[in-house]
Structure 1
Amino acid sequence: MAKLYFRYGTMNSGKSIEVLRVAHNYEEQGKKVLLLTSVVDDRFGVGKVTSRIGMQKNAIAVDDAMNMVEMARTEKPNCILVDEAQFLNTAQVTQLIEIVDELNIPVIAYGLRADFMGELFEGSTALLAAADTIEEIKTVCWYCDKKAIMNMRCKDGEPVFHGEQIQMGGNESYVPVCRKCYASKKKASLTAK
């Protein structure tokens, strides 16, 4: 019986390298994988899953018009992998659920749990509510040795605590932090004003 998995972690926790590793494992065994990513992530080109260590693979860019259920029905993959799943909307997560429940195809979705303000993304909210299995991909805080659970947006090396929810970027724009360091940096930012 297929399952819907949601594997989440902060920025720089290795989610994309994990997607690429799992895709490689399936393909090495001669199995078919559909690799999907959100059309929103255009940092390395639309339809690319790219890890921070430089590995990259072409993927299908998911937009609002895409019918993933029909695509899965036609392509008949052994597994579907989704990178940047936080950018999915609730309807798209519902399609993934249908793929798992009706077509019996496992789906493993990778993404952020929350944004730089600590707010859940729509896709993450839907996946946390519906996934059969939820797993955390861990990394350490940029400032200390505790487990990072939050994403801190930075501009010119300084923490930022306001702005649009979605702003594409890598290490120049985001660092993984623990809750204590996040709160400390936020308090210092407010005090400096």
Structure 2
Amino acid sequence: MAKLYFYYASMNAGKSTTLLQADFNYRERGMATMLFTAAIDDRYAKGTITSRLDVSANATTFDPETDIAAIVAAAHAHEKVACVLVDEAQFLTSAQVDQLAHLADVVGIPVLAYGLRTDFQADLFPGSARLLALADSLVELKSVCECGRKATMNLRVDEQGRAVVAGAQTEIGGNDRYVALCRKHFVAARQASAAAGA
């Protein structure tokens, strides 16, 4: 039976690298896959999933209006799709996560979704919340805080490296805008920034 998997982590934990490795494993065995990534993520070339190890693959972009299930079903009718892999899954809508569950449950295609669990304020993204509710398997990928403990939080920083404590939930960025920290250092950095009036 096909399953819906949610691989979640903080920034810089290797989510895209892990996705690309899974895709390679399927393709090496002659199986077709479909890759999706968020259209809003403009850090690299549009329509590509790129890891920090400089490995990349082409992908179909999605935005809130994209019917992922319909795209996969159309492709599956021409060539059997062995697996669907979704990067930046935190940007999925709840309805799109339901579509992924449908692909696993009804169409019989395994779906591997990779994304952040929480935003820079430690709040769940809507897509991540729905994945946590529906996924058959939840897998935490590990990242490391500056202190050596497991990093679970995503600290947004300004140009001077100070914690940003307010703003829109989504702001695309990499190491220039986000730092993965353990909860203790995440809270301490936000408190220090708030106390300094930043």
Q: What per-residue deviation string (whole Å, max 9, x for no partner) do you get for residues 97-147 of structure 1?
A: 111111010000000000010010010000000000001000110x21110
Q: How does 1:144-163 map to 2 (within 5 A)?
A: 144-156=147-159, 157-163=161-167
* In 2, Cα distance between equivalents of 1:66 and 1:167: 21
1:74 deviates by 2.3
* 1:71 CA displacement: 2.1
Match of 1:177?
A: 181
Letter in structure 2 aligned against 1:130: L
Measured after TM superposition, the shift of residue 167 of structure 1 is 0.6
Q: Does 1:91 align with 2:95?
A: yes
Q: TM-score, normalised by structure 1?
A: 0.96
In structure 2, C-alpha distance between the alignment counterparts of 1:188 and 1:60, rounded to whole Å: 41
Sequence identity (%): 46
* CA RMSD, Structure 1 to Structure 2 (Å): 1.0
For 1:104, give the aligned amino acid: G
Aligned match of 2:134 in 130, 147, 155? 130
Deviations 1:40-74 (A, max 9, x none): 11211321101112111110001233222222222
Aligned residues: 192
The one-letter amino acid of 1:14's match is G
Match of 1:47 in 2: 47
In the alignment, structure 1 segments of 5+ residues that lack a partner are none
CA contact (8 A) 2:165 2:194 kept: no
Report the AA paired with residue 62 of structure 1.
F
Structure 2 CA distance for aligned equivalents of residues 21 and 120 of structure 1 = 26
SS at match of 2:144: coil
Residue 29 of structure 2 aligns with which residue?
29
Matched, 1:67 2:67: yes
Query: Structure 2 length normalisation: TM-score?
Result: 0.94
Mapped pair 1:117 → 2:93: no
What stretches of structure 2 of length at least 5 have no aligned partner? none
For residues 73 and 165 of structure 1, the distance between their equivalents in structure 2, rounded to whole angstroms, comes to 32
Report the residue type matching 2:100 in the other structure.
L
**Which 10-residue stretch deviates more, 109-118 or 42-51?**
42-51
Give yes or no for the alignment of 1:140 onto 2:155: no
Matched, 1:7 2:7: yes
1-structure distance, mates of 2:65, 2:154: 30
4+ long deviations beyond 4 Å: none
Letter in 2 for 1:144: C
Q: Secondary structure, in 3 states, of the residue corresponding to 2:61?
A: strand
1:191 and 2:195 aligned: yes
